[in-house]
């Protein structure tokens, strides 16, 4: 594969290509986010990384790159259940619409697209499928989550893979699938003890008094023996409710302490003292990157703050899931 990586972010698609074992080369990566680009360049200094709007890429420019494959994860905010769901009317869809408009002019024979669950019900999805059919692509849509692949993180996402004849899939393509063809779901996920930081100073990650007092009842607490975590969003670390799981240092058998909190007024010292005994903290960026299947040699520049790391990871992909899809695309 000769690949153009659009909306390249922190390089999730690139890492997925490496993890897949499929022979391929990233000819160029494109993203407009300077912080994400600094992380990409830090990990892949040899790659041509274009810091520019996708809409600035002309068909002539793309064809001159001699690419036959596009991997992309367009902005998902227009389709998220917590957003305004403005769909194709959202300004952030304009670059994706542009790419679809020039697709008939591109010498591209393979495409992989990732987006948020909910995209499959959007007008943008209808435009995507209509364009793929117009251009003669065979395609298959999926809704998949890492827990199906043995990874203890729930992150349902929409995926579409497409090929142009004479290439074809080695399975019967059809309506949206919720598992990969010829692959059984993993029987079990590994314990999150395997992704925990052992040497890092974790003091700054423990939940503060304000969170413990006001939001502890909305947190999803996990333990070292847990085999799942909730989806992490870009607001993780700044907010608690709905942004991802938190971790307790206690053995799970002692989690009954949490139930005792209801005996106290959340504004009382007794409540706060007991809450502190739960030893609850945010997962570190490194731990989240492991849950998203990034390898150990993936790193952030030293100048990247934890807030930036959480935001970038929240916008990224699960490497293992996409790697499996790239295998189907070859």
pLDDT of residue 260: 87
- What pLDDT, on the 0 to 100 scale, is given for residue 237? 93
CATH of residue 278's domain is 3.90.120.10
First to last CA, the chain: 8
Angle made by CA atoms 221, 80, 17, in degrees to the nearest 5? 80
Instruction: State how many domains the chain has.
Output: 2
User: Looking at the structure, do residues 123 and 66 belong to the same domain, yes or no?
Assistant: yes
The string of DSSP codes covering 194-241 is GG--SSS--GGGBPPHHHHHHTGGG--EE-TT----PPP-TTBTTB-T
What pLDDT is stored for residue 200 in this prediction? Answer: 81
Q: What span, in angstroms and rounded, lies between the C-alpha atoms of 45 and 263? A: 56
Q: Are residues 161 and 60 in the same domain?
A: yes
Nearest to residue 113, comparing CAs of 36, 231, 20, 7? 7
Q: Which two three-digit tokens encode residue 154?
A: 């729930």
Q: Which domain holds residue 230?
A: 201-283
The pLDDT score that the predictor gives to residue 89 is: 59
Pair 102, 168 in one domain: yes
In a domain, 308, yes or no: no
Contact 142, 180 (CB under 8 A): yes
List active site positions.
76
Establish if 218 belongs to a structural domain: yes
> Do 130 and 101 belong to one domain?
yes
Q: What is the pLDDT of residue 267?
A: 87
306 within some domain: no
- How much is the pLDDT for 141? 98
Gap between the Cα atoms of 209 and 5, Å rounded: 43
272 is a domain residue: yes
**CA atoms of 78 and 92, how far apart (whole Å):** 7
How do the pLDDT tens digits run along the chain, 330 residues long? Answer: 999 999 999 999 999 999 999 999 999 999 999 999 999 999 999 999 999 999 999 999 999 999 999 999 987 665 565 555 566 656 667 889 999 999 999 999 999 999 999 889 888 899 999 999 999 999 999 999 999 999 999 999 999 999 999 999 999 999 999 999 876 666 699 999 999 998 788 999 999 999 999 998 889 999 999 999 999 999 999 988 899 999 999 887 667 788 888 889 988 999 999 999 999 999 999 999 999 999 999 999 999 999 999 999 999 999 999 999 999 999
**CB within 8 Å of 48: residues ≥ 6 apart:** 27, 28, 29
Cβ atoms 302, 158 nearer than 8 A: no
* Residues 6 or more apart whose Cβ sits within 8 Å of residue 28: 4, 5, 47, 48, 49, 50, 65, 67
Residue 108 contacts residue 135 (beta carbons within 8 Å): no
pLDDT of residue 94: 86
């Amino acid at each position: 594969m000769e690949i153009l990586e659009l909306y390249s972010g922190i390089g999730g698609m690139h890492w997925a290509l490496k993890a897949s074992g499929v022979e391929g080369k990233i000819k160029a990566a494109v993203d407009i986010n300077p912080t994400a680009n600094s992380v990409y360049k830090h990990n892949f200094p040899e790659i041509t990384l274009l810091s520019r709007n996708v809409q600035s890429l002309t068909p002539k420019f793309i064809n001159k790159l001699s690419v036959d494959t596009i991997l992309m994860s367009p902005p998902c905010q227009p389709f998220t259940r917590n957003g305004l769901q403005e769909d194709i009317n959202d300004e952030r869809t304009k670059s994706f619409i542009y790419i679809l408009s020039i697709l008939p002019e591109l010498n591209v024979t393979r495409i992989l697209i990732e987006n948020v669950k909910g995209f499959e019900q959007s007008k943008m999805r209808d435009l995507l499928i209509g364009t793929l059919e117009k251009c003669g692509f065979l395609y298959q849509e999926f809704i998949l989550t890492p827990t199906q692949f043995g990874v203890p993180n729930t992150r349902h996402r929409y995926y579409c893979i497409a090929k142009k004849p004479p290439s074809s899939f080695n399975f019967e393509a059809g309506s949206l699938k919720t598992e990969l063809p010829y692959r059984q779901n993993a029987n079990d996920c590994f314990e999150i003890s395997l992704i925990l930081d052992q040497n890092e100073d974790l003091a700054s990650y423990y939940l503060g008094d304000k969170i413990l007092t006001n939001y502890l009842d909305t947190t999803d607490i996990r333990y070292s023996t847990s085999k799942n975590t909730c989806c992490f969003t870009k607001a993780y670390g700044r907010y608690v409710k709905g942004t991802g799981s938190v971790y307790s240092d206690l053995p799970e058998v002692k989690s009954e302490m949490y139930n005792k909190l209801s005996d106290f007024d959340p504004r009382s010292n007794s409540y706060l003292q007991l809450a502190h005994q739960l030893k609850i903290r945010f997962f570190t960026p490194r731990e989240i990157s492991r849950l998203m299947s990034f390898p150990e040699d993936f790193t952030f520049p030293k100048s990247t703050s934890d807030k930036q790391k959480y935001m970038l990871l929240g916008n990224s992909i699960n490497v293992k899931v996409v790697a499996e899809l790239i295998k189907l695309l070859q």
